[in-house]
Structure 1
Amino acid sequence: MADRPRRADARRNYELVLAAAREVFDELGATAPLDEIARRAGVGNATMYRHFPTRRDMVIAVYAEEVTALGELGRTLLDDPSAVDALFTWLRAFIAHVSTKGELPLAITDDEAGQRSALYRDWHQTMHTAAADLLRRAKEADAIKPDLDVADLLTSANGIGRAATDAAQIDRLLTIVRDGVTR
């Protein structure tokens, strides 16, 4: 039997809980009290658990939303007039994602079906595709060194996201990478 569409109030409550979870996880981390999420969403615990039966379900929903947004940003930036600006705009968003959301996927417990591995693969593919498409466009515009590999670029950006101490340092390090790979 197919899932029935959610009622308007159920959709609204789902979105309220998801937004509150995103906010609370950003502030307190993936182990934040779930009661705090329900409180900020303005719903009861039963409503929250009806939408997200476990913390794992909630973390997956929040992280999946973030990855989807990065993929959509990549597709949108393919229309930017400057291929290299588009690439580095996306890399900046990716770095911000790594620096603020890095603990979320680590908080997802594995299951017998191997769902966590499948999710990781899908999320990795979404980010890799966005970066590869933007990099390919920048190479076609002859704005990037032709030997630059997308995996190396993402590894560098990931390192910046994990190591930088603040936004100013992120910007400085990303400028160093940009200066090193552009023509």
Structure 2
Amino acid sequence: MTTVSSKPVGARLRADASRNRARILTAAREVIVELGAEAPLDEIARRAGVGNATLYRNFSDRRELLHHVTLSVMTRVLEHAEAELLEPDAFEGLSRFTHAAAEERIGALCPMLSDHIDHDDPELETTRLRLKAVTSELIARAHASGQLRADIGVGDYFLGVTQLTRPVPGTGCLDLEDFVHRLLQVFLDGLRVPTLSVLPGRPASLDDLKRAG
């Protein structure tokens, strides 16, 4: 006797379409990290296990795909940050968020995608501002707990994370993942109290980084 699924056909099709879209975004993230923003779209489709027609049914062109890759990564990083606000140990929360953000390839993707997206897009801007606010709160909590050295600003933190997670030119960046997490841990250890040195200059803010860019 054949068992017929009780789930409506339309619901199954929507679920399949949602899974295909998620697979395309995940594959695009990895291919872009490896090959850059101009990576062949058919390679992205192949890695996602879908046909080119399915890719174009979800994303009409490269610009739309890159937009949604950026939004997807930023949203996932934001979710990690919001989850760590619930961690009782403030520095542990900041540390876990740091490693989670690296897993999302944020340091590798941001410089590659910057020239290919609409920075004035309302959805991207809303997500960016929320991520800025939540990350600033994670750092403020670590400061308030007395675990994060007082001479570290939000800009110092972001600059350290983005530089340490950016691929080294001429290397297979995915092969360096384990080393990235080692260096991030060294970086985090250097942010802890008690301090062993006096930092030159003043703490950097996000506005400082924006002006420098």
TM-score by length of 1: 0.76
Pick from 100, 105, 108: which aligns with 1:100? 108
In the alignment, is residue 81 of structure 1 matched against residue 88 of structure 2?
yes
Cα deviation for residue 103 of structure 1 reads 3.7
Partner of 1:15: 22
Once the two structures are superposed, residues 58-107 of structure 1 have per-residue CA deviations (whole angstroms, 9 ceiling, x without a partner) of: 11111211111111111111222321121122223335534332344225
CA–CA separation in structure 2 for the residues paired with 1:93 and 1:8: 27
Partner of 1:43: 50
Q: Structure 1's 33 and 71: CA in aligned 2 closer, same or farther, altered over 3 A?
A: same
CA–CA separation in structure 1 for the residues paired with 2:73 and 2:102: 12
CA–CA separation in structure 2 for the residues paired with 1:156 and 1:148: 11
Partner of 1:131: 135
Does the 8 Å CA contact 2:80/2:101 hold for their aligned counterparts? no
In the alignment, is residue 182 of structure 1 matched against residue 193 of structure 2?
yes
Cα deviation for residue 25 of structure 1 reads 2.2
In the alignment, is residue 62 of structure 1 matched against residue 69 of structure 2?
yes
Could you tell which deviates more after superposition, 10-19 or 43-52?
10-19
Could you tell which deviates more after superposition, 168-177 or 39-48?
168-177
CA–CA separation in structure 1 for the residues paired with 2:58 and 2:73: 18
Pick from 163, 166, 178: which aligns with 1:162? 166
CA–CA separation in structure 1 for the residues paired with 2:151 and 2:125: 25
| Paired residue secondary structure (1:162) | coil
| Paired residue secondary structure (1:158) | helix
CA–CA separation in structure 1 for the residues paired with 2:31 and 2:180: 25
CA–CA separation in structure 1 for the residues paired with 2:61 and 2:155: 34
Structure with the higher helix share, 1 or 2:
1
Partner of 1:116: 119
Q: Which of 1 and 2 has greater Rg?
A: 2
CA root-mean-square deviation: 2.9
Does the 8 Å CA contact 1:128/1:150 hold for their aligned counterparts? no
Q: Percent identity?
A: 30
Aligned length: 174
CA–CA separation in structure 2 for the residues paired with 1:49 and 1:169: 34
Q: Structure 1's 10 and 135: CA in aligned 2 closer, same or farther, altered over 3 A?
A: same
CA–CA separation in structure 2 for the residues paired with 1:80 and 1:65: 24
Query: What stretches of structure 2 of length at least 5 have no aligned partner?
Result: 1-10, 195-213
Query: What stretches of structure 1 of length at least 5 have no aligned partner?
Result: 110-114
